[in-house]
Every structure is written in structure tokens, then in C-alpha cells.
Structure 1
């Protein structure tokens, strides 16, 4: 009997030890769980969709000066993505980068926040052209980020291999002769798979006026086949394509295009003045090889056009418009943010 009681006592002792061990483990888990809950980010969360290479760095600098706000940057581009998010009603950013030609389309459909009263003292900070580009009907729907006066960016190393001095190219015929020499070494002077913004800019450069509006703005007339500038550029560019001097299979900004530019198989690009930072971002291996000069015109006229340029806008659906506007101001109006973008 004594032996039985002794064995029973040992079992109880072991069970009590196990219970204390289990309780200790539970306490540790409870402590860890409570600590995890305590680290929840209480900052105001805003999201930005932008293709600007310096945007993530801008977000970091903004957060240093605005510790109550956290900015998530996604390099989402392409208006199809934005349109899908708007149509689905979820997954939309608070802030979106829009090219000037696209901004009115989203403003007129009621997707953008009217910030007119928030930016009354910023109008004179911008050039008249960029400021007018963020307005519709006298109301402001974004702040200008940049402008797009056209320039010709070219890989000087590749041009030299072909025996071409790009600084001496002033006319379309000069450009054609250079393209032929580049073709002889297996290089395209440019790629164009049908980019409408490029075509529009080049028509502008040629002095074309294919679009007309009525005085009340309700009627738009498109005269692509009857406008002199449009006809002249179209004829020239088609002749370049027919001669096999333009890569028509490669879409600008596609991976194929980046690979072609990086390998020196596509030697130049007509673009807005915003191009350098994007070249550094997308084809860093060619840094130092590129130069820039004026875009050649039909007869060497001193003329230019604009291509691109963009703004930052706050979507009307944003639940944090105040924090979003603080970030837009930092990027587009605060000299600290502007310096960061200029420095790449």
C-alpha cells in the first residue's frame, strides 16, 4: 500500500511540473503576441502609382519630414491598370502620375480630386504651359512634375562606330543618311511600333495642325489626311520604314526595347527632356555613352515640339486627401523634393 501511495505522489508531482511548464510556454506566447500587436503601424497610409525613378527615394525623404505618414510606392504604369482598378472599385492608389494628355480624361469623368482651393498660391511657381496642362474648366486637378520639350538622345559610341557625327545632323535627309550608315553596321537609328504620342509630337514638330475645335469646344475635327505638316512627316517616316531603317517590331519601354538600347542595336530616341533619368534607370549599362542634341527638322528649321510631361494627381476616391496632398506638394512644389528628382 505504501508503495502504491508513493507512486501516486510521484505521478502528481510530474503532472504539476508539466502543468507549470505548459503555463510558462503559454505565457511566453502571450507576451510575444502582445508585443507584436504593440508594433502595429499607426501612421496614415497612402499609396502612389508612378514610373518616376526617384519616387521611392522621395517617399523616404518625405517620411523623414512627415513621420505620421507612410508612403507605399508602386511602379505601376499603363492606364489600363488604372482603368481596371477604377472599374473594379478597389486597389486604387491615393496618388497617381498622369501625363498631361491623360489628365483631362480622368478629370472630366470625375476621378480626380479638385485641388483648386488648396493650391491658390502656387500658380506662379510653374511655367504657363505646365500650369495650364493640369487644369480643366478653370479648375486644378494636379501639380506639374515636369515638362517635355523634345530632344534627340543618341548613343555617341555607336554613332562613332558608324562614322556619324550626330551634331551635324540638322535635316530629315541628314537623319536618313545617318540611318543608312547605322544599318550598315547592323543598328537601327530608332524604334517605332506605332507610338501615337511620338507621332503626334513629330507632326507638331513639322508644323502640323490636324486637330481643330469649335469655339464652344463641343466639336473636334481631325484632319490627318488634309494637313500639310501631317502629310510631310508621314511621307518621310513611311519612307524610312519602307527602307528598313526603323525597327518597327520593338515597342518603346518594352523589355525588348531596353535590351536593344542596352546592346547598342537601337542607337537613338526622340523624346521629352525627362528621358535621361529613365535611361539611367532602364539601361544603366550605357551610362556615359549618351549625348543629346536638337531634333532634326524637315529643312533644318529652328523649331521644337513637346512630348509627354506629367503631373501628380490625387484620386477623388482617396480617404486620406490631406496626407496625399502633402506628398504631392513635397514632390512637385517643395524644393527639397524637386532637387531629389533633378539629381536623379
Structure 2
């Protein structure tokens, strides 16, 4: 793999903890976690609460509950992504958080620094041997484990096979080809667009700048360097600004009712998304089952397999849990047990984070919503080794992401340069880090 998942060095995590007003991880200020395999339970069955937003996760949890009558897991879906992080922080402040929670990799550092998720190193000594070091870097800080990796989501190109065939569009392999295909498609069918530029969700754009070589946060010693508006990011922004101003891509946000309708009726011909997309398409565009296929993300240079990442999550144990050993046991089972991982592939379409999970039999079959593409997971598997993330995520990702929505939303409305939106993101991120007390170079 060309670059690891996001990760913090020990110095960086120490800086985050200092800025948060903590002397160490939350687990250090509470009762020591039980040794691996030990029970933290009182007499009688243990009841655990699990926060997760995956569709059909209830089917996976049911497998656990059937096989573990002494440890019952209740699934809840209070929110997804950044919204779930906010709810976790609020619940932790009220001391009533869940036992277990799904957390996107980029959000984990802030939850570690805030004492919301627990150090589970002693509870996962056997579990971590099931993952490669590159994957574990997403969840390991200062040599301590704060989550069990669930999935890996390289950025891919999803396209409507029927639309491409109808209008004679070839699957683009470079971004130059993509722009030409977008223009050709819209010329042949003025009511059809190659895709949309989404100012509402920064995940896809983050993956695109990763592919282009950006590193939004880096460190030297104890100082941070923020480079959100650097040359790689501006190359991506300029490219999409040209497509938007040419009128050949739409400007509405993804996951909106209008976008769902356009995805369903063929107005939009492609979706740049993570490998998890097939699990979402059934709810987004139910009439299009069997009409989508996946291809590698177009390259900036022909033949370069580098892609970015959109998503990927870990299963964490919170510091509010009164049963951390049992919670860690469930987290380990969810992401390493063959039956559990197979059920997630079949019901959620995850591309597993565990090493052994990437060779399970369900990966030989097509996702239910893409029955026409039996080699779906082979295509994703070939892209995965060249997926590139930032070398690390910053401590204030939520501020950066919020600024993305505001700045790019304003640029779409006013027609101002997208590069200026990146400048605003840079300024907002730097100002917030200075306010938090970080040293910046």
C-alpha cells in the first residue's frame, strides 16, 4: 500500500490530550480495565448497548445474541458519522454513553483525546494479530489500541451500465477521460449529467485529494503543519470547478431527496463513492438494481492505480461501559469471527479490515444490488492495496469538515473559485487549532 491509514504518533496524541485538558487517556482516570479474558460483569447476564448506523446490522447482532446468551447486545442507531460522534460526546458528558460504538477512523483521535473511548490494549492482545500493521495504525495511538478495525473503503467509480451503453460512453480510466465523457454525455443527453458536486459531505472530496497526494495534517516534533489549500488539493478543486462551470455536473448535495430521485431515474450516470456503496444504493435508487457496475477511480496519470479512501470504521469500547471486557469480546467477534464478518459482507457489503476476512467465500459473489458484477470484490480488492489516506488526521476534523460545507456551499451559490473555499477551510482549521493551544509551523 502506498500510504497507511490515518494515524497519530505518540507525541501527537500527547498534544491532543494536553489541548483537551487531560493528563492521559480516559481509561487512566477510571478503574483499570480487566485483563484479557477477565469478566467485568456482576452475577447474571450482561447487557450491552451498541451504537451503529449500518443497514442490516441487526442481522449480524442476532448471530451474536443467539450464540452468547450470557452477553446480550442491544443495537441502536441514534445517528451516523459525525452526528454519532457528537451524540457520543454528549452522552459521555452525561455519563450514559453506550458500551460499544462504531466510529469512523478520522473521528477516533478526537474521541480518544476527549476520553470517550477506552484503551482496550489488554483486552485485544489476541485480536490485533488478525490485522496487518497498516490497518491497525487507524486505531492505535501511543502504542495503545482504541478500537477494532471493521472495514476498509477505497474510493471507486460506480457507473450506470445502461446509461453508458445507451449513449456510447466508455468507462473513463483517467480524469481527462472523465471530463470528456461528462461533456459528451451531456451533449448527447442534455438532461443527463455525469455526476454531482457535493458540497454537503466532504468525505468524497477528501478521498479525491488523498488520491492527488495531499496531506492536510503533518507534524514535525511537537508542531503541526496544516496544508488544506496546498497544490494537490487545489488541483482537484480546480478540476471540479471547471466541470461545474461547464454545466456538465449537477450541484445538488448527495443523499438529498432530489439527488435520490436523480440517481433513481438516470439523471446521474456515475457516483464516486466508497466500496460500501452497494449497501446504500437499494435505499437511494431502488429502481436501479442490476444497472450499476464498479470500476477503479479514474487516475491523474494513465496507469497509476492510486485511489483515496472514503469511510472505514472501527468498533470501539467507551469509557462509560461497566463491562469493558465483554464489550471488547463483542468488538473482536464482530470483526474477526468468520461467521460475523461473512454476515457483514452479505448484509452490509463491507470490505473487511481483517486479513483473513478478505478471503472469505462471500467475497466471491456479487453484492445483492449488483447481481450483474460477480467480480465486484475482486475489483475492490485490486484497488485496495493502492488506496492512499492522509498520513494522519488532525485533532479538529469536525471543524475542517464543517468549514468544507460552508465554504464550498457558498462557492457553488456565488460562482466564486473553489480554491478560495480551500483557503477558507485552511484559515478555519488553523484558527481553531491555535485556539486549542496547538503549536503550528
TM norm. shorter chain > 0.5: yes
The separation in 2 between residues aligned to 1:234 and 1:82, in whole angstroms, is 28
Q: In structure 2, what is the equivalent of residue 113 of structure 1?
A: 118
Give the CA deviation at 1:284.
3.5
Relative distance call for 1:329 and 1:224 in structure 2 (3 A) is: closer
Structure 2 contact 85–103 (Cα < 8 Å) conserved = no
Structure 2 contact 263–284 (Cα < 8 Å) conserved = no
Relative distance call for 1:196 and 1:143 in structure 2 (3 A) is: same
The separation in 1 between residues aligned to 2:330 and 2:87, in whole angstroms, is 24
Unaligned runs of 5+ in 2: 1-43, 348-441
Unaligned runs of 5+ in 1: 1-41
- The alignment's C-alpha RMSD in Å is 2.1
For 1:246-325, list aligned pairs within 5 A: 246-250=249-253, 252-302=254-304, 303-325=306-328
Relative distance call for 1:47 and 1:256 in structure 2 (3 A) is: farther
Structure 1 contact 104–135 (Cα < 8 Å) conserved = no
Alignment: residue pair count? 297
Match of 1:219 among 223, 241, 244: 223
The separation in 2 between residues aligned to 1:155 and 1:91, in whole angstroms, is 45
Match of 1:341 among 338, 341, 344: 344
Q: In structure 1, what is the equivalent of residue 131 of structure 2?
A: 126
Match of 1:200 among 206, 216, 236: 206
The separation in 2 between residues aligned to 1:160 and 1:249, in whole angstroms, is 25
Structure 1 contact 123–131 (Cα < 8 Å) conserved = yes
Give the CA deviation at 1:190.
1.9
* Larger radius of gyration between Structure 1 and Structure 2: 1
Give the CA deviation at 1:74.
2.4
Match of 1:183 among 181, 186, 192: 186
Structure 1 contact 206–233 (Cα < 8 Å) conserved = yes
Q: In structure 2, what is the equivalent of residue 160 of structure 1?
A: 165
What is the CA deviation profile of residues 6-53 of structure 1, one whole-angstrom value per residue up to 9, with x for unaligned ones?
xxxxxxxxxxxxxxxxxxxxxxxxxxxxxxxxxxxx853322221222
Task: Compute the TM-score of the two structures, normalised by the length of structure 2.
Answer: 0.63
The runs of 4+ residues in structure 1 deviating greater than 6 Å are none
Q: In structure 1, what is the equivalent of residue 53 of structure 2?
A: 51
Give the CA deviation at 1:235.
1.3
Structure 1 contact 82–92 (Cα < 8 Å) conserved = no
The separation in 2 between residues aligned to 1:281 and 1:321, in whole angstroms, is 34
Task: Compute the TM-score of the two structures, normalised by the length of structure 1.
Answer: 0.79
Correspondence 1:87 to 2:87: no
The separation in 1 between residues aligned to 2:113 and 2:226, in whole angstroms, is 21
The separation in 1 between residues aligned to 2:178 and 2:241, in whole angstroms, is 14
Relative distance call for 1:153 and 1:321 in structure 2 (3 A) is: same
What is the CA deviation profile of residues 159-202 of structure 1, one whole-angstrom value per residue up to 9, with x for unaligned ones?
22232121xx1221211122123334212222233232222211
Give the CA deviation at 1:300.
2.1
Q: In structure 2, what is the equivalent of residue 98 of structure 1?
A: 103
Structure 2 contact 102–314 (Cα < 8 Å) conserved = yes
What is the CA deviation profile of residues 63-119 of structure 1, one whole-angstrom value per residue up to 9, with x for unaligned ones?
110112332222321433442453251663221111111111101211101111111
